[in-house]
Amino acid sequence: MSDARTWGKIGGLTAWANNEPEVMVGPAHAGFRRRFERLVDPDGLLSPREREIRADRARRAHMLTLAAKSAAVRSARKVAP
């Protein structure tokens, strides 16, 4: 492993050891949630609760789609030598 890669890993592990998970990934999670809120309510007309419900459903549908595609690829790999 290169020195830069080793020091990068050390830095990452140190950051995770010294910070709460919300600090490390909170902004990314918030942005991911906002993406689905904009998808289901681009004009901002829904109530916050309804927007949250629909965004959650859209996020879950997205994740299930990814899981189905992943399963199909894994299945195809089993068939092909």
Residues 50, 72: Cα–Cα separation, whole Å: 33
pLDDT less than 70: residues of the chain: 1, 80-81
Show the tokens assigned to 5: 């890669």
Query: Which amino acid, 42?
Result: P
**What pLDDT is attached to residue 73?**
94
Residues 19, 13: Cα–Cα separation, whole Å: 10
**What pLDDT is attached to residue 78?**
86
**What pLDDT is attached to residue 2?**
82
**What pLDDT is attached to residue 5?**
94
**What pLDDT is attached to residue 79?**
79
